[in-house]
Structures are given as C-alpha cells and as structure tokens.
Amino acid sequence: MRALLLGAIPALRAFAFSLTRDLDRSDDLVQDTLVRAWIKADSFTPGTNLYAWLFTILRNLFYSEQRKRRREVEDADGVMAGRLAALPDQEARVELSAFQAALSTLPANQREALVLVGAQNFTYEEAAEICGVAVGTIKSRVSRARGRLIELLGMTGPDDIGSDGATLAAMTLAATGHS
C-alpha cells in the first residue's frame, strides 16, 4: 500500500493544485489525503481503482476545508496576487498565464470535471464516481468548460495554440476536447 500511495503523489498534487491554485495548500491537501488513506487503508477494496479512491478522499477534504475557510478573505479576481507577480516576458508564459486565468474563472465543478477528464485522464465514468454525479453531468460540465475556455481565450481552433510543449499540452485540452 505504501508504494501505491507514493506512486499516486504526482497525480494527487496536480489535482490538488487545480483545486486550490496554491502550492502550499495543495501539498498540505495531498499530505492530509495520504494520511487519511493510510489510516483507512482497510476500507479500500483491492481490485478497484486506487486513484479514484484517493481522488475522492482529496476532493472531500478540499470541500470540507472550503466550508471551514468561508470566513477568510478571498482573492477571487486575483488583484492581490497580481500585485505580487512579475509579468511574464515570453510568449509561452503569457499564453499559459492566460490559460490559467481563464481556467480559474470557470465554476469549480466545471474546472474539476475538466481537470479530472482532460488532465488526469480519468474516464467520464471514473470522474462521475469521484464527483458523486451522473456520467452525463460530467460530460456536460466538461463540454461547457471547454467551450467557455475557447471563448475566453478567443480561440477558433487548434491553429490558435502556441508552439511550445507546455502551452500545447495545456491549451489543447481546451481547444480539441480530447480526454
């Protein structure tokens, strides 16, 4: 179990960061997930999808934490963070920054569905199980998220995507709808 949990860390970190958009918070969330999974290892059914189980734990912890943090001041529009960040000077960074900004404007349920299906390569069925909704709901959320990203980024098709690998990987998710 230890080796399986350790092997899941990169995927958990990516998913946690997509939810929190904060490296420290996402690392804490992953750590809490791993501790919870270790403690509850006897409740995992061998032969089932370990990643789906871990992602469900992480997601539940995140939303529990969100409910507790409601009294904190949010920086939803990024004004405070924008004052702290240096403007990127390379085209790829600008495009990636634009993508991240557009992604952060999506409703949480659409962003979550898009990340699970598009970036984490979960099937629609697995993503639906993780989120506790119907498969059709996940498909709808992913479709709306992709459409909204294309609109926000002023894209008309794949030809609008930059040429570097990071930008292609991130933006192809929005432009092509491949999962």
**CA 101-161-120 angle, 5° bins:** 65
Collect all residues with Cβ–Cβ distance below 8 Å to 34 and sequence separation of at least 6. 5, 9, 12
pTM: 0.55
Contact criterion met (CB below 8 Å) for 143 and 173: no
Collect all residues with Cβ–Cβ distance below 8 Å to 51 and sequence separation of at least 6. 8, 11, 122
On average, the pLDDT of the chain sits at 82
Q: From CA 131, how far away is CA 137, in angstroms rounded? A: 10
Give the model confidence (pLDDT) of 49-108 as tens digits: 999 999 999 999 999 888 877 765 566 676 766 666 555 557 767 777 888 888 889 999
Q: Which fold has domain 1-76+88-176?
A: Butyryl-CoA Dehydrogenase, subunit A; domain 3 (1.20.140)
